[in-house]
């Protein structure tokens, strides 16, 4: 349910003063999209050629659009990719209504896609972003061409012990308390903790990548809404886990029409590896990629493998052809 920043990125200055300290990978661009009550920062990479189908990448709890930079670069010859900072994360300010529920975040993604007119897209989601994109695909099939989920935060009956501290953020007052208890930790210590939690093998992060992650941690911790976004989003995940009926995430997984790729890591400490089989059975006609050495962010640890599996999905299903996109008969959340 938590993710960290992508190693190997550089600082860039943009026209917006708010974006000055944000890191971008080589060849990427940042822009802000203003919608009523909502401002989103969108990271894009010019495609290798014109006419490629659009894609949208959605990060997990505590992450940002940077989490997708490596995969975006590898797929620039396959899709016209954009990655969004969810409200309150990355460089997107909080939503005006302070709604961090899975439904609220899914609504933000839907509003962005509707406003941009880019649908149907190849939709990617990691962790919390996996829950969000599952809901988007279920309620708005017209917007989704394919769905790729990396360690999606779907309800588990037995949560792993290593995931319990993240879930505890959902408790009222827990975030401010945690902030006080950890105020003496350095950015380096915080970053090592996050990498240890999210990576199957933290040693894969280069020294330069670690320094970049520390800088991003310092920037993020200085935001006045950091703990609010973390705690309310954690509460949103917990609430989504308890929903039943047609709004339950597993029920909505069964309603997804788009060809789906599921990616699970054998060393994931936040989403249990054992959930892979249930997910494969729930998403109709899905395919499963299991990476025994990967942690919670396989698209950051093994972007080449995830990118190759996505290309296989397109080739085998013909999902890159317009006629194979879902019918435009969905409804908003």
Is residue 2 assigned to a domain? no
- Tell whether 328 is covered by a domain: no
Distance, in Å, from the CA atom of 188 to the CA atom of 165, rounded to the nearest integer, reads: 19
Residue 330 is predicted with a pLDDT of 46
- Residue 56 within a domain: yes
CA–CA gap between residue 287 and residue 177 (Å, rounded): 42
Q: Give the CATH number, domain containing residue 152.
A: 3.40.50.1820
Low-confidence ranges of the chain (pLDDT < 70): 1-21, 157-182, 320-333
Distance of CA 30 to CAs 3, 51, 83, 107, 183, Å?
A: 20, 21, 10, 21, 31
pLDDT score recorded for residue 209: 86
Query: Is residue 20 in some structural domain?
Result: yes
Per-residue model confidence (pLDDT) at position 167: 57
**Neighbour count for residue 220 (Cβ, 10 Å):** 21
pTM for the whole structure: 0.87
Percent of the chain with pLDDT over 90: 65
Q: Give pLDDT tens digits for 142-201.
A: 999 999 999 999 998 666 565 555 655 555 655 565 666 667 788 899 899 999 999 999
Which pair of structure tokens corresponds to residue 168? 């505890």
- Whether residue 120 is preceded by a cis peptide bond, meaning omega within 30 degrees of 0, is yes
Q: Does residue 329 lie within any of the structural domains?
A: no
User: How many domains does one find in the chain?
Assistant: 1
Residue 113 within any structural domain of the chain: yes
Interatomic CA distance for residues 13 and 36, integer angstroms: 26
Q: What is the pLDDT of residues 23-58, one digit of tens each?
A: 888 899 999 999 999 999 999 999 989 999 999 999
Non-local CB neighbours of 21 within 8 Å, separated by 6+ positions? 11, 219
Pairing of strands 260-265, 287-291: parallel
- Domain membership of residue 332 (yes or no) is no
Is the distance from CB of 153 to CB of 271 less than 8 angstroms? yes
Which of 215, 218, 200 lies closest to 296 in space, CA to CA? 200
Expressed as residue numbers, the domain containing 275 is 10-318
Domain membership flag for residue 4: no
Q: What pLDDT, on a 0 to 100 scale, did the predictor assign at position 157?
A: 67
């Amino acid at each position: 349910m938590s993710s960290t920043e992508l190693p190997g990125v550089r600082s860039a200055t943009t026209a917006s003063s708010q974006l000055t300290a944000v890191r971008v990978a080589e060849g990427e661009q940042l822009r802000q999209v203003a919608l009523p009550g909502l401002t989103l920062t969108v990271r894009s990479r010019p495609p290798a050629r014109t006419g490629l189908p659009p894609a949208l990448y959605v990060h997990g709890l505590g992450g940002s659009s940077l989490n997708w930079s490596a995969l975006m670069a590898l797929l620039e010859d396959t899709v016209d990719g954009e990655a969004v900072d969810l409200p309150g994360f990355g460089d997107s300010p909080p939503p005006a209504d302070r709604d961090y529920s899975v439904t609220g975040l899914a609504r933000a993604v839907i509003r962005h896609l509707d406003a941009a007119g880019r649908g149907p897209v190849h939709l990617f989601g990691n962790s919390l972003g996996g829950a969000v994109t599952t809901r988007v695909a279920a309620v708005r099939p017209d917007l989704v061409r394919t769905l790729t989920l990396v360690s999606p935060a779907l309800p588990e009956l037995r949560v792993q012990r290593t995931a319990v501290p993240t879930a505890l953020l959902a408790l009222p007052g827990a975030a401010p308390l945690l902030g006080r208890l950890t105020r003496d930790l350095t950015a380096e210590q915080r970053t090592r903790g996050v990498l240890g939690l999210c990576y199957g093998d933290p040693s894969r992060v280069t020294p330069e990548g670690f320094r970049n992650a520390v800088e991003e941690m310092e920037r993020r911790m200085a935001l006045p809404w950091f703990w609010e976004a973390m705690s309310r989003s954690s509460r949103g995940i917990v609430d989504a886990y308890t929903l039943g009926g047609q709004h339950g995430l597993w029920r909505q997984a069964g309603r997804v029409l788009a060809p789906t790729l599921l990616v699970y890591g054998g060393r994931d400490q936040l989403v249990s590896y054992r959930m892979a089989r249930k997910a494969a059975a729930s998403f109709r006609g899905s395919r499963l990629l299991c990476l025994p050495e990967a942690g919670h962010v396989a698209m950051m640890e093994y972007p080449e493998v995830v990118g190759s599996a996505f290309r296989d999905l397109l080739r085998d299903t013909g999902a890159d052809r317009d006629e194979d996109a879902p019918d435009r008969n969905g409804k908003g959340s």
